[in-house]
Chains A and B, each alone.
Chain A
Amino acid sequence: AQSVTQPDIHITVSEGASLELRCNYSYGATPYLFWYVQSPGQGLQLLLKYFSGDTLVQGIKGFEAEFKRSQSSFNLRKPSVHWSDAAEYFCAVGARGGATNKLIFGTGTLLAVQP
């Protein structure tokens, strides 16, 4: 069965510091991979996605993620965090082939940013 693991429930970083949020997935083949961000009381906004090709993908707001097939990982990174990045981050996988866009989400990582 497909699953997504985000091992870090809560992370605190200082403003200006670098950030890496971990995501591991379990899937029979290489899935489509996504990172979404959710601000309090809001819906989810797509940060970036990986479908194929270059394993380092760039997203909005200065975020990037690297797909590592050997580790079944898709970690999210940002070189310098801003206070406005405080939010909850969700990694998700989608099935290749088939008709559905259904996504399986991880449990999220809550990011706090210290001044």
Chain B
Amino acid sequence: DTGVSQNPRHKITKRGQNVTFRCDPISEHNRLYWYRQTLGQGPEFLTYFQNEAQLEKSRLLSDRFSAERPKGSFSTLEIQRTEQGDSAMYLCASSPRQGGNSPLHFGNGTRLTVT
């Protein structure tokens, strides 16, 4: 169990640029989640996948955001035309099964700074 891996750890970009983050979940975890955490706040749910299917998206996930999990393994989160308000820590988590009693295992996050 190597844990959830996120890359890059840090990303600085200029407003208007596109960015992509990658998440590798714990192997054999079929559930994968993306959360966003801004300064002084708890993580906020963005979206989740069961295998390759994206089953739920938050209202926070505007049209500029897109997430994929093409083969049910790693996932990518892309933000197009970044805005300063997108600056945050983006956290990925995975779990082995459905149900609220299956805790989430979090990665160390990707910190995005939009200048």
Contacts and interface: CB of A to CB of B under 8 A. Distances in A.
Interface in B59-115: 91, 93, 95, 98-109, 111
A76 B41 CA distance: 19
B48 interface: yes
Which range contains the number of B residues in contact with the other chain? 20 to 34
Nearest to A39: B108
A105 B46 CA distance: 13
B4 A51 contact: no
A102 B33 contact: yes
| B44, B99, B102, B108 pick with most chain A CB within 10 angstroms | B99
Contacts, number: 77
B22 interface: no
A106 B41 CA distance: 8
A43 B108 contact: yes
Contact of B91 (A4, A44, A96, A104): A44
A42 B108 contact: yes
A100 B48 contact: yes
A108 B42 CA distance: 6
Contacts of A45: 106
A45 B4 CA distance: 11
B56 interface: yes
B106 to A, nearest CB: 4
A28 interface: no
A43 B107 contact: yes
A90 interface: yes
Given A44-B93, A102-B45, A107-B42, 7 more contacts: A4-B42, A44-B43, A99-B98, A101-B48, A102-B33, A103-B43, A105-B43
